Amino acid sequence: MTTFTLAVVSAGLSQPSSTRLLADQLAEAVRRASARNGDRIEVINLELRELAHDITNNLLAGFPSVALQSAVEAVSSADAVIAVTPVFSASYSGLFKSFFDILDPCALASTPVLMAATGGSARHSLVLDYALRPLFSYLKASIVPTGVFAATADFGSDEAGRSLSDRVQRAGDDLASMLTSGEASTLGRGEQADAVVPFAELLARR
């Protein structure tokens, strides 16, 4: 049996939060799928609303609090990450983006990341491909193929709830499979995915 560490980052602002609810469902789906594979998942939950002031202070002063530094280290060292944001103005929330701005640009290199979002209606579902995917591609993460968007209606009826549960479990299966098979990029953490070549050297190659 292999034990994997899963950092679950949720950026919901209310309490209770549909964003946190979706994050918990995804973590449980990964746990179930990993158990079928004979693996164990250790979940670390990170509620960004509890770190909002620390995140702002770090952006202004450049020095993280003890709590924020612990959260950054947990995400940077995790075997996999679930990242869930509410949708504001057709994109991820400012709190969500600010936290990932704090991370070292290579902190998530090779790390499987399952993207998810919540919003008022299904018309916001494109946020996964047009906002979250570019962000985690830039951070060189190994993005789980199945992302999950949950509209308010998905939590309100049995039929919609079953559909959401199916999508959540599919995403959990994908992430568990990546962990078990080691499908994530072999790039070591803290390394550059593409070596930066000085401009003068590029000219010399011509």
Q: What is the pLDDT of residues 173-202, one digit of tens each?
A: 999 999 998 865 433 344 444 444 554 554
Overall average pLDDT of the 90-109 stretch: 97
Q: Indicate if the pLDDT at residue 170 is higher than 50.
A: yes
Q: What is the mean pLDDT of residues 166-173?
A: 97
Average pLDDT over residues 137-142: 97
Residue 11 has pLDDT above 70, yes or no: yes
3-state secondary structure 143-161: ECCCCEEEEHHHHCCHHHH
CA distance 140 to 105: 8
Query: pLDDT > 90: what percent of the chain?
Result: 78
> Cα–Cα–Cα angle for 54, 86, 41, nearest 5°?
75
Lowest-confidence range among 16-25, 109-118, 160-169? 160-169
User: Which is it for the CA torsion 55, 59, 60, 64, positive or negative?
Assistant: positive
In the numeric block, the tokens 């993207």 are attached to: 115
The pLDDT of residue 188 is: 39
Domain boundaries, the chain: 3-204
Kindly tell me if the per-residue pLDDT of 101 is higher than 90: yes
pLDDT, greater one: 205 or 89: 89
Q: Which CB contacts under 8 angstroms, 24+ apart, belong to 54-58?
A: 55/95, 55/98, 55/99, 55/102, 56/98, 58/102
3-state secondary structure string, 23-88? Answer: HHHHHHHHHHHHHHCCCEEEEEEEEHHHHHHHHHHHHHHCCCCHHHHHHHHHHHHCCEEEEEEEEE
pLDDT-wise least confident of 57-66, 130-139, 193-202: 193-202
Total residue count of the chain as it appears in this document: 206
Structure tokens given for 184: 């994530």
How many other CB atoms are there within 10 angstroms of residue 146's CB atom?
18
Mean pLDDT, residues 128-150: 97
pLDDT band at 108 (very low <50, low <70, confident <90, very high): very high
Pair 86, 168: CB distance under 8 Å = no
> For residue 45, which of 24, 17, 15 has the smallest C-alpha distance?
24
d(CA 12, CA 73): 21
The pLDDT of 152-169, averaged and rounded, is 86
Closest to 78 (Cα-Cα) out of 27, 18, 17, 13: 27
The whole-angstrom separation of Cα 64 and Cα 55 is 7
Q: Say yes or no to pLDDT of 95 above 60.
A: yes
Taking residues 18-35, what's their average pLDDT?
A: 97
Q: Residue 51, CB half-sphere, CA atoms under 13 Å: how many?
A: 27
pLDDT bin (cut points 50, 70, 90) of residue 166 is very high
Average pLDDT, the chain: 90
- As its CATH architecture, domain 3-204 has 3-Layer(aba) Sandwich (3.40)
For residue 26, pLDDT over 60 is answered with yes
